[in-house]
Amino acid sequence: MSDDRSENGNDNGGGHANGNGYDQARWTRNGQYEPLLSEKNQTRVEIGTDVDSPLPDELTRDDLELPELSEPELARHYTRLSQMIYGIDSGPYPLGSCTMKYNPKFTEDVAALPSAAVHPDRDPESVQGTLEVLARLQDYLGRIGGMDAVTLQPPAGAAGEFVGIRVAAAYHEHNGEGHRHEVIIPESAHGTNFATAALGGYDVVSLPSDDAGRVDLEALEAALSEDTAALMLTNPNTLGLFERDITEIAEMVHDVGGLLYYDGANLNALLGRARPGDMGFDVMHYNVHKTFATPHGGGGPGAGPVGVVEDLAPFLPAPRVRAVDGDGRDEGDSNATPSKYELFDPEHTIGQVHGYQGNWLVLVKAFAYIARLGDEGLTDASAKAVLNANYLASQVDYEVPYGPFHHEFVASAGEQDAADVAKRMLDYGVHPPTTKWPEIVSGALMTEPTEIESKSTLDTLANAFNAVAGEDSETLEAAPERTTARRIDQTSAARNPRLSWHALTGGEEDGERET
């Protein structure tokens, strides 16, 4: 081992000032936080110069400095790094709408099966099993959402939105309705909805909420016209409120010839109970990381499949997978036993939006998760997601202005600053909720515990909320105190970002970066 034991240790000192037993690790060595691998043992490796390189001389080198470390040193390095941050494997992560869930390890095992490692250019005849998984996933998602056809290509929910809006645009164009230039979006919607509509070339019409936090039908009536291409909605909405007038809303939108888009971020509240297709939605995306516990992709590489009703299916991205030659039945029929799967291009396709069928290994995890849970398990997941949100809300001291809600609730930080509340919650060993959005609740603390947490974890979360609710602004502004990195200067971080590596020193109490 190369580590110097006397210099290397967790410098927390063992005190638990806030009495909650939480201290994030601060692994230091020579006063510096866990060094980079390249700052540990170095060895020079000759790479030789006799290779005829097409690169200019100043860009070639004849030796390379590489870290020389044993496997335990490597494992410990990454374990320490993982202890200096907060993740879903560290504790609860109640990010409303953005929905962080534990990623079950069995889906990792399935994705690691040798048979999952197929080359995407293989002849479809030779990868029938792979195509079957994709076709069955399309079928599962279609049945869960009440949609007739599904593409698996988009690499994230936001990318799915863009594809969905492009499909809607192609549909209107095809019907000689290309003049429709407006997309209506409730003001409480996720920022990606607005970005999607704008990127799709549409003018955004922002829709105010009514006093109960739902779509204001009069405002919707006023906004709808023959210029309306689509209304984008999530249901339950970002306040966790079910849009009870959804069938009326769908009728109103369809009456003017518009389409209804479902943002699937909150689908975990409805699994096995209600389907967007049955409510009148025409096109939707699925955030498989929010609903089916696949890893988040940071905007990709994840998966954000898109489902559509029959009329829109010809416009989906190409290629898609379908079953042929079976007992005469096509996709969408779970009882079919097709003998063959093939790729095909939908008749009026908008084209290809991602390589091959999208992020296959993420899709495999979603498939495994859905198959393992089955109808009963998925219905149970939505029950627990809603129960957990309602239990947690009943335990927190902060005011929750809107309800009754489903899988998430939005509390108000009141006199406190929501961002300070969030920083302080980290000191209690829990991740804070989503803050300051939606803006219709001042000091929004948008909280979604998800179905994965036990009652005792929910109690830990409630205790953290309530401890922070009772603290003064001085304490909140000094937070976080017990994390590896302290509060950063967010303005400087945005205005003057340092984009190359600087050692983070452990000696300074505020965890400032060395210059």
Ligand X SMILES: *Cc1c(COP(=O)(O)O)cnc(C)c1O
Binding interface with ligand X (CB under 6 A): 97-98, 156-158, 190, 192, 234, 238, 263, 265, 287, 299, 304
Cβ 407 to ligand X shortest distance, Å: 11
**Checking DSSP bridges between strand 306-308 and strand 149-151, what pairing results, if any?**
antiparallel
Q: How far is the CB of 161 from ligand X (least distance, A)?
A: 6
Q: Do 24 and 86 touch, CB atoms closer than 8 A?
A: yes
Neighbours of 19 (CB within 10 A): 8
| Of 383, 380, 408, 384, nearest in space to 396 by CA | 408
413 contacts 445 by C-beta, under 8 angstroms: yes
CB of residue 302 to ligand X, shortest distance in Å: 6
Q: How far is 166 from 353, CA to CA, in rounded Å?
A: 11
**Which of 50, 30, 49 lies closest to 39, judged by CA?**
30
Which SS3 state, helix, strand or coil, does residue 403 take?
coil
Q: How far apart are CA 90 and CA 33, in angstroms?
A: 20
Shortest separation between residue 196's beta carbon and ligand X, angstroms: 9
- For ligand X, the closer CB: 304 or 346: 304
Amino acid making up residue 58: E
Q: Which of 346, 326, 365 is nearest to 104 (CA)?
A: 365
User: Cβ 265 to ligand X, closest distance in Å?
Assistant: 3
Degrees, nearest 5: CA angle 397-400-402: 165
Give the nearer residue to ligand X in terms of CB position, either 99 or 483.
99
Separation of first and last alpha carbons in the chain = 30
Instruction: Let me know: does 183 contact 197? Beta carbons within 8 Å.
Output: yes
By C-beta, is 452 or 476 nearer to ligand X?
Answer: 452
Q: Which is nearer to ligand X, 157 or 164 (by Cβ)?
A: 157
Q: How far is the CB of 288 from ligand X (least distance, A)?
A: 8
CB 270 within 8 A of CB 238: no
Nearer to ligand X, 137 or 323 (CB): 137
The smaller minimum CB distance to ligand X, of residues 158 and 378, is found at 158
C-alpha–C-alpha distance, residues 24 and 488, integer Å: 16
In angstroms, how far is CA 371 from the centroid of its own chain? 21
Question: Least Å distance between CB 396 and ligand X?
Answer: 21
Nearer residue to ligand X within complex by CB, 307 or 506: 307
- Listed in sequence order, the residues at least 6 apart from 451 whose beta carbon sits closer than 8 Å to its beta carbon are 268, 380, 381, 382, 383, 384, 385, 388
For the bound state, the minimum distance from the C-beta of residue 511 to ligand X, rounded and expressed in Å, comes to: 29
| Smallest gap from residue 95 Cβ to ligand X (A) | 9
- Kindly provide the b/e burial profile for residues 398-412, where b requires at least 16 CB atoms within 10 angstroms of the residue's own CB: bebebeebbbbbbbb
Task: Rank residues 229 and 265 by Cβ distance to ligand X and give the closer one.
Answer: 265
The residue nearest ligand X at its CB is: 157
**Closer by beta carbon to ligand X, 127 or else 141:** 141
